[in-house]
Amino acid sequence: MKLKRAELFLSLAVLVLGAAVAMGTAALPAHGGYAGVGPNAAPAAVAAGLILLGIRLLYEALTGGWRNGVPDRAAQRGEHDFHTGAFLWVTAGLFAQILLIQRAGFVVAQTVLFACVARGFGSTRAARDLGVGLALAVAVFLFFVKFLNVSLPPGWLKPILGTAGI
């Protein structure tokens, strides 16, 4: 029998986490008042679940390893390998959105995000992606502003969007 240290460590970590939650739960009041369920009910259920899970994982780790484990390699799981370029394009789009949403406005930020995500998913037609992203961003902007009365930053397009009654 080969004992995997990572499985053993994670099993003990789950067990310790459950014990810590149980100790924290013991400090909460148990009286439920009108509802009959005290503020310690949900944390107690979580603590019990974590402790039971930790015991189960520890048992499996000590008796041959975790059962029904997921293979480490993506190909063995029937998935694609990690694509660094796609990850970087999507991440860049998210950071661009964060930087642009207050300065340039919702529509510009969402358009750039859509184009970056499309590029990350393999699209090579930037002009089309920007156009589709712009159309979707304007539609979402108008839906939120006109129908839901949610204020979104118009940014650089305020002169254009302002003529639409916004």
Question: What pLDDT, on the 0 to 100 scale, is given for residue 135?
Answer: 96
Residue 154 near residue 103 (C-beta atoms within 8 A)? no
Question: What pLDDT, on the 0 to 100 scale, is given for residue 121?
Answer: 94
**109-137 confidence digits (pLDDT tens):** 999 999 999 999 999 999 999 999 999 99
Residue 86 near residue 116 (C-beta atoms within 8 A)? no
Q: How confident is residue 166, by pLDDT bands cut at 50, 70 and 90?
A: low
Q: How confident is residue 31, by pLDDT bands cut at 50, 70 and 90?
A: confident
**57-112 confidence digits (pLDDT tens):** 999 999 988 888 777 788 888 888 889 999 999 999 999 999 999 999 999 999 99
Could you tell me how many residues make up the chain?
166
DSSP for 95-111?
A: HHHHHHHHHT-HHHHHH
Question: What pLDDT, on the 0 to 100 scale, is given for residue 24?
Answer: 94
The average pLDDT across 136-150 equals 90
**36-65 confidence digits (pLDDT tens):** 788 888 999 999 999 999 999 999 999 988
Tokens of 147: 């129908």
Confidence (pTM): 0.58
Question: What pLDDT, on the 0 to 100 scale, is given for residue 164?
Answer: 59
The average pLDDT across 129-158 equals 90
